[in-house]
Amino acid sequence: MNQIKNVAVIGAGTMGHSLALLFVQHGFNVWLNDVSDQALAKAKGLIASGLETLVELELLPAGQDKAALARLKTTSSLEEAAGSADLVVEAIVEDKSAKQSLFSALDKICPAHTILASNTSFLDIFKFMQTDRPDKVVITHWFHPPHIIPLVEVVRGPQTSQQTVDCIKGLLEGMGKKPIVITKFLPGFIVNRLQSALRNEALHLLDNGYCTPEEIDVATKASFGLRTPITGVVGRMDFAGLDVTQRVLKSPDFELAPQMRKSKTLDELVAKGRLGVKNGRGYYDYGGQSPHQIMRERDTKLVKLMKFLRDLGEL
């Protein structure tokens, strides 16, 4: 961790702005890069507002938000952002050829010691990255919003060195994160595979009119959503009884939705331009609130919940 002082975050969208916030909050000098000046301007506003929220929640001493913001610089030049970086965190669009050309460029621009970390959700970057530093390439898969959510899935490639893994693990733990190291690549790692199974059923229920978005979310929050922080998913099987779990698994009467590649309700909303919190309407209508307001409320509740769970010894 001591070796890393300068961080470049590439991609200033949903994940990138929150990653930049996290690193400036913890004292790193950050260059935030995006191909879009508009995305950079929006990100800067969200970072300032996110830092203010951390002060309100007493996670950052008063005045430190301004000091943190002063450690942030934005640029649309990749050379400027990555030329002196000790660590590059990539958070651009989930597209194989975009990530491939970015990593080739980074390999040329960055100093020899720079670690390149991708935030890919499911791409096996180790198969297609062309790099002269395979020992310094790693996946760090964060969870939105990464400046608050503790888990980071650290995925090592076949040639990632132990030194790189140790450095990243130390860096993350120093920022209060909970890294888990995955040594064998599989798309979606752990969390997105679990979430995808849930999303598949939720879309099946919505598309076939079994229930409303509100009903699914009430059902989630008032049942397993409440229980999961205490029992986990695997521990929950022990509480239910493994014989009971085995019976459910075997029963042909309990049929689940097939893997969905397309969803009627999702396609309709996207076609209408309802993209979610980022533009104020998705499955829900956020009543004209700005993304800043919506995220601030979410972040405040998340931090309070995390504090409570930490006090219980569950986090």
Ligand X SMILES: NC(=O)c1ccc[n+]([C@@H]2O[C@H](COP(=O)([O-])OP(=O)(O)OC[C@H]3O[C@@H](n4cnc5c(N)ncnc54)[C@H](O)[C@@H]3O)[C@@H](O)[C@H]2O)c1
Contacts with ligand X by CB under 6 A lie at 10-16, 33-36, 39, 91-94, 98, 102, 119-121, 141-142, 144
Active site residue 153: yes
- Going by C-alpha positions, the residue among 213, 193, 197 that lies closest to residue 205 is 213
Across the beta sheet with 6-10, the strand order is 72-75, 29-33, 6-10, 87-90, 115-118, 137-141, 151-156, 178-182
Q: Give the nearest distance from C-beta 238 to ligand X in angstroms.
A: 29
Q: Give the nearest distance from C-beta 119 to ligand X in angstroms.
A: 4
Q: Which is nearer to ligand X, 11 or 50 (CB)?
A: 11
Catalytic option among 17, 26, 141, 147: 141
Q: Which is nearer to ligand X, 28 or 142 (CB)?
A: 142
C-alpha 119/C-alpha 26 separation (Å) is: 19
- Going by C-alpha positions, the residue among 45, 37, 24 that lies closest to residue 89 is 24
Catalytic option among 17, 118, 147, 153: 153
Catalytic option among 76, 84, 192, 196: 192
Active site residue 279: no
Q: Give the nearest distance from C-beta 285 to ligand X in angstroms.
A: 21
| H or E stretch covering 261 | none
Q: Give the nearest distance from C-beta 43 to ligand X in angstroms.
A: 8
Active site residue 314: no
Q: Which is nearer to ligand X, 104 or 246 (CB)?
A: 104
Tell me which residue has its CB nearest to ligand X. Answer: 13
Cis-peptide into 150, omega within 30 deg: no
- Going by C-alpha positions, the residue among 84, 139, 127 that lies closest to residue 106 is 84
Catalytic option among 29, 76, 84, 121: 121
Q: Give the nearest distance from C-beta 158 to ligand X in angstroms.
A: 21
Question: Please, are residues 28 and 1 in contact by the beta-carbon 8 Å criterion?
Answer: no
Q: Which residues pair with 137 in a beta bridge?
A: 116
Q: Which is nearer to ligand X, 64 or 200 (CB)?
A: 200
Q: Which is nearer to ligand X, 75 or 289 (CB)?
A: 75
Label residue 57 exposed, middle or buried (CB < 10 Å: 0-12, 13-18, 19+): middle
Active site residue 121: yes
Which residues are known catalytic residues?
121, 141, 153, 192
